[in-house]
Amino acid sequence: MKKLIRVTVNGVEYEVAVKPNQTLVDMIRYDLGLTGTKNGCGEGDCGACTVILDGTPVNSCLVLAMQADGRTITTIEGVEGKDGLHPLQQAFIEKGAIQCGFCTPGMVLSAKNLLDENPHPTEDEIREGISGNLCRCTGYLQIIDAVKSVSK
Amino acid sequence: MSEYDVINTRAARVDASDKVRGRAVYVDDIKMPGMLYGALLQSPLAHGELLNIDTSAAERLPGVKSVVTYKEAGLVKYGVSPARYDETLFCHDKVRHVGDNIAAVAATDLDTALEAVSLIKVEYRELPAVFTVEEAMAEGAPALHAAYPRNITAEVHDEFGDVAAAFKKCDLIKTSSLVNKRQDAAFIEPQGCLASYDFSGNLTVYSSTQVPHYLQRIIAMVLGLPVGKVRVIKPYVGGGFGPKAGASHLELAACLLSMKTGKPVKMNFDRQQVFMHGRARHQFFHTMTTGVKKDGAIMALEHKCYLNGGAYSSFGIATVYYAGSLLGGPYKLPNMKYDGYRVFTNLPACGAQRGHGGVIARACWEQQLDMIAEELGMDPIELRLKNMMKAGDVTCNFLDMSSLGMKECVEAVRDRSGWKEKKGKLPPGKGIGMSCGFFVSGAGYPIYRSDTFHGTVIIKLTEDGGTALVYTASAEIGQGSDTTFAMIAAEAMGIPLECVRLESGDTDFGVDLGAYSSRQTLMTGLATKEAGEDIKRQVLEVLSEELHVPIEDMDIKKGFIVFRKEKPDFSALRTRYIKEHRGWTDNPGMDEELSFKEASRIAFLSRGSIVGKGKYKPPELGGTHKGAAVGTSPAYGCSAQVVELSVDEGTGKINIEKMTDAHDCGLAINRTSVEGQMNGSLSMGLGEALFEEVKFDDKGRVLNDDLAEYKITRALDMPAIEPIIIESKEPNGPFGAKEVGEGAIMPAIPAILNAVYDAIGVRIFELPMKPERVYMAIKEYRRKKEEALRSSEGKAPGGSAKK
């Protein structure tokens, strides 16, 4: 039986009917059509589905949609501000931090969450902050550079 | 200052703005009205006879629209190389590995499709299975394919020069071996597709493929459709690295289900299925014997290799050739003998992965060269420089080094890493090592025998003259090829990058063999350049007619017409242009230079659509021996690397501290992208060297089929890298460019192997170098050393294992 939940995503309130076993990533991608959130493994290993749930980054493949009832979510589509790209997004473009782009949304959200909590992280803290997000293309260094360039 | 306006810069990727916003569309982001969801039934057994398939319960389940097996699919054989087509869409007589494909279901939602799959009843008779090369080649072993005795997919026996005679003249002959473990490419996006068959008989397939062209041909061949009725579109792809470079059951099943139901059908692999499909790096067992003179001159190499290939050929016939042929360079090697065997086992098929066939061979040999240097009392870099080929040299197996910045790469990493101050002078537990490598800039021949062009490109100017539309069927899979070709097109036409709009990855745009063998920058790049130059010529031809200025006295640069001699009066032409754009706010002032936009509008008015065409195919390359095609290329990229690391002798844990890497890419079209490929290659090489290994249980089931237990490099594992771009100006490449995508991985593993030896004094001959393996090697080394000492002096050594 589906149940109606109420969830605020990127500042917009949605009412969604979700199945008890439906994952949050599934709801975000297929019910809300916010396909910027990616599903890479479905078991919490790769971080591609990272979203910010009430201020905490989570693997949305490990969260049930029902658990998001009454809560607030930021996805990659909500990172850009009124004045355009978030500085972190701009830095990702400039530093060559993007290749295939499949890990990028989750990576940006993890990095953003890190900077929100710790605006001047050390390089080790940056590496730790994105260590749950796998990237097979870049070797991470240009991503780390991008985060560093914004945190100065 | 660069002589170029667009290329050789650090331009932002053309797809980055969408990707960083989550706006870029990947295959699973696409949905269509009435779309069905497909699921595969895959074998739970490694080897078994198929006795009966009962789909009746599945067909009765509400929501199920179609269930297909070999009865519906037919038995057309396909694969990668036509010489080894050995797969059918579905198994009909037996299953050959866990995950082999038996049936597929399309239903209104994925849960229903999966439930239906569980309702299909299959009766098997389990057969004995073989999992190792030894088991598979043993006398009386069960055969996977009747046509291949001793389970040998392909064997290679090549000799160039006379190895036995050369060994007689050598002062030192060294034998060593290396074995790696089966890899998974671990791209973050699992394979997916969406097939849509319409009522006019056209099949459109969206796929996460690396090779739209080959996929189009295989779909047409297997399902009996004209090639022109099959259109493959590749949206953005979340990494490929090799395994996505062939048609899969997923795509073929989705196509068949869409044809049966008349509805679009979406299918995805989950992460477990990615591992069960495999097609990544083989397990290689290399043994090499090298003979040298006292002065370090390499005289001969004798090389034997066995590949554990899994249940089907996939790329294997090419892999076994590459494993031998790519040792022809970059060192002068007058005599080379190679015996290679690619062997079927009851495991998922192996295929191609970054550095196809050459990576473990390179690692084995480069470690051996260090062993030789040590015995000769030579610095490993000195040994390599002494034997280095130079541009214009041809290897003993007929590979032509048309450009080769190898010496420059070696000198760069030597000087920038502080090699001379560090080599032999580091404290116990710390080590430094180096290696070289080289790789093709595109396979010299297509996978199927053909005189086809390897790439065709069309550029069309919009009627207003302001934008050039570039159409290429090449495959952007993350490496940045769209950006590369947009930059090449802009440079060739003489216009800014912003005036180029590029569409790629669609078989309707032409022929392009796709993203494999590091081919696109050179091959698609040359076709793009030719198309751009064609556009420039046509625009200037019309200008020449209008202004009575000879073509050779004009050029286009940065979006403006350059008059090399006297500037003609073009005011009439400009007035015409402005009249055509009454009301526009961006019309040129009368004192401005004549723009490309105005000129190409005038060209359109004179000739209709201005369409430029480009094409590329390599000249005939290589020798005439069997398999000579594999390893040929119009150009070779090359690289050198120095690794600094430490080894904890108490735990065996290796900590890579720094990599200094130089790659000769001919000319860097986009410097940021070249460095991205270098960093990414090193990260993959580091993972292979230290952690990566697909493991199986005794029933042939993958034990670590997820990205937690199959460990790839994380942000925490990456050392600092100093990437150095060397530009040798390749005569056969577009503006001098050649590959970087795969060649850059070549030195990574052997440089680590050599650095580990430098740190602990122990050679490791099995990958990955997990702590327990390194720890056991150190322990064994100490035990042997103690024994030796006891027998000679009777006292026990202490401290570090390092000499």
| pLDDT tens per residue across span B379-399 | 999 999 999 999 999 999 999
Instruction: Provide the pLDDT for residue B74.
Output: 97
Number of domains in chain A: 2
Instruction: Provide the pLDDT for residue B792.
Output: 81
b/e B149-163 (16+ beta carbons within 10 angstroms → b): eebbbbebebbbbeb
Query: How would residue B799 be classed by pLDDT, with cut points 50, 70 and 90?
Result: very low
| DSSP conformation letters of B434-497 | EEEEEEESS-SS-SSS----SEEEEEEE-TTSS-EEEEE----SSS-HHHHHHHHHHHHHT--G
Ordered alpha helix ranges (H), A3-135 = 24-26, 87-94, 104-117, 123-129
Domain's final residue, options A60, A78, A96: A78
B31-127+188-239+244-277: CATH number: 3.90.1170.50
Does A38 share its domain with A12?
yes
Q: What percent of chain B has pLDDT over 90?
A: 97
Contact B477, B245 (CB under 8 A): no
Task: Compute the mean pLDDT over every residue in chain B, rounded to the nearest whole number.
Answer: 97
* CA–CA distance, B224 with B74 (Å, rounded to integer): 10
Domains B16-22+453-616 and B283-445+623-772 share a fold: yes
Closest by Cβ to A96, choosing from B18, B29, B673:
B673
Instruction: Provide the pLDDT for residue B2.
Output: 78
Does A73 share its domain with A91?
no
CB spacing of A137 vs B680 below 8 angstroms: yes
- Tell me, what CATH number does A60's domain have? 3.10.20.30
Does A46 share its domain with A91?
no
* CA–CA distance, B23 with B499 (Å, rounded to integer): 21
Tokens of A10: 């990127």
Question: Does the pLDDT value for residue B796 go beyond 70?
Answer: no
Instruction: Provide the pLDDT for residue B791.
Output: 86
SS3 track for B46-98: CCEEEEEEECHHHHHCCCEEEEECHHHHCCCCECCCHHHCCECCCCCCEECCC
* CA–CA distance, B460 with B538 (Å, rounded to integer): 11
CB of B271 within 8 Å of a chain A CB? The answer is yes
Q: Which of B98, B102, B87, B90 is nearest to B54 (CA)?
A: B102
> pLDDT, tens digit, for every residue of B741-763?
999 999 999 999 999 999 999 99
> B16-22+453-616: which CATH topology?
Aldehyde Oxidoreductase; domain 4 (3.30.365)
Cβ neighbours of A98 in B, within 8 Å: 13, 15-16, 19-20
> pLDDT, tens digit, for every residue of B252-290?
999 999 999 999 999 999 999 999 999 999 999 999 999
Domain's final residue, options A78, A99, A116: A78
Kind of pairing between the strands at B720-726 and B611-616: unpaired
> pLDDT, tens digit, for every residue of B624-677?
999 999 999 999 999 999 999 999 999 999 999 999 999 999 999 999 999 999
Q: Helices (H), strands (E): how many in chain A?
A: 5, 5
Query: How would residue A152 be classed by pLDDT, with cut points 50, 70 and 90?
Result: confident
- Name, in order, each residue with C-beta under 8 angstroms of B499's C-beta and a sequence gap of 6 or more: B466, B467, B468, B490, B559, B596, B597
CB spacing of A38 vs B25 below 8 angstroms: no
Domain's final residue, options A58, A78, A98: A78
Does A71 share its domain with A102?
no
* CA–CA distance, A129 with B339 (Å, rounded to integer): 48
Average pLDDT over residues B558-574: 97
* Alpha carbon of A63: minimum distance to chain B alpha carbons (Å): 18
The DSSP secondary-structure symbol of B277 reads: H
> pLDDT, tens digit, for every residue of B502-532?
999 999 999 999 999 999 999 999 999 999 9
Closest by Cβ to B186, choosing from A39, A93, A136:
A136
Does A21 share its domain with A73?
yes
CB of A39 within 8 Å of a chain B CB? The answer is yes
CB of A94 within 8 Å of a chain B CB? The answer is yes
> pLDDT, tens digit, for every residue of B45-60?
999 999 999 999 999 9
Closest by Cβ to A100, choosing from B477, B708, B712:
B477
Cβ neighbours of A126 in B, within 8 Å: 715
Instruction: Provide the pLDDT for residue B800.
Output: 52
Average pLDDT over residues B131-135: 98
Judged by average pLDDT, the poorest of B173-177, B366-370, B462-466 is: B462-466
**Domain range holding A98?**
87-151
Cβ neighbours of A103 in B, within 8 Å: 188, 238
Contact B640, B434 (CB under 8 A): yes
Chain B's closest residue to A143, CA to CA, is B715
> pLDDT, tens digit, for every residue of B701-753?
999 999 999 999 999 999 999 999 999 999 999 999 999 999 999 999 999 99
The CA–CA distances, whole Å, from B456 to B448, B453, B737 equal 17, 7, 18
List chain B domain ranges: 16-22+453-616, 31-127+188-239+244-277, 283-445+623-772
Does A7 share its domain with A48?
yes
CB spacing of A136 vs B672 below 8 angstroms: no
Q: What is the dihedral of CA A136, A138, A143, A145, to 10 degrees?
A: 150
- Tell me, what CATH number does A105's domain have? 1.10.150.120
Give Dmax (Cα) for chain A: 50
The CA–CA distances, whole Å, from B4 to A115, B490, B495 equal 38, 11, 11
Question: Does the pLDDT value for residue B176 go beyond 70?
Answer: yes
Question: Does the pLDDT value for residue B803 go beyond 60?
Answer: no
* CA–CA distance, B173 with B160 (Å, rounded to integer): 18
Instruction: Provide the pLDDT for residue B1.
Output: 55
Contact A57, A51 (CB under 8 A): yes
Query: How would residue B371 be classed by pLDDT, with cut points 50, 70 and 90?
Result: very high
* Alpha carbon of B467: minimum distance to chain A alpha carbons (Å): 23
Q: What percent of chain B has pLDDT over 70?
A: 99
B283-445+623-772: CATH number: 3.30.365.10
CB of B269 within 8 Å of a chain A CB? The answer is no
Closest by Cβ to A136, choosing from B16, B271, B712:
B712
Query: How would residue B414 be classed by pLDDT, with cut points 50, 70 and 90?
Result: very high
* CA–CA distance, B17 with B27 (Å, rounded to integer): 19
Cβ neighbours of A144 in B, within 8 Å: 715, 718
B432 three-class SS: strand
Closest by Cβ to B707, choosing from A41, A85, A141:
A41
* CA–CA distance, B202 with B535 (Å, rounded to integer): 32
**Predicted-assembly ipTM surpassing the 0.90 threshold:** yes
